[in-house]
Amino acid sequence: MIRIGIEVSSRNLRCDLLEHPERYFFILLVDSRASLCIRTCDSQGENIQSHVIDGLSLNEDGNLYSVFEDGIKAVLELHNWKNRSCQGDEYPLSSHLMHMISRMPDLVDWIISSIISNGKNLVIYSVDSKDFS
Q: Which tens digit of pLDDT belongs to each residue from 100-114?
A: 999 999 999 999 999
Residue 65 makes CB contacts below 8 A (sequence gap 6+) with 56, 57, 58, 59
pTM, two decimals, is 0.82
For 16-74, how does the pLDDT look when each residue is reduced to its tens digit (9 = 90+)?
999 999 999 999 988 778 899 999 998 888 899 999 999 888 888 888 888 998 898 88
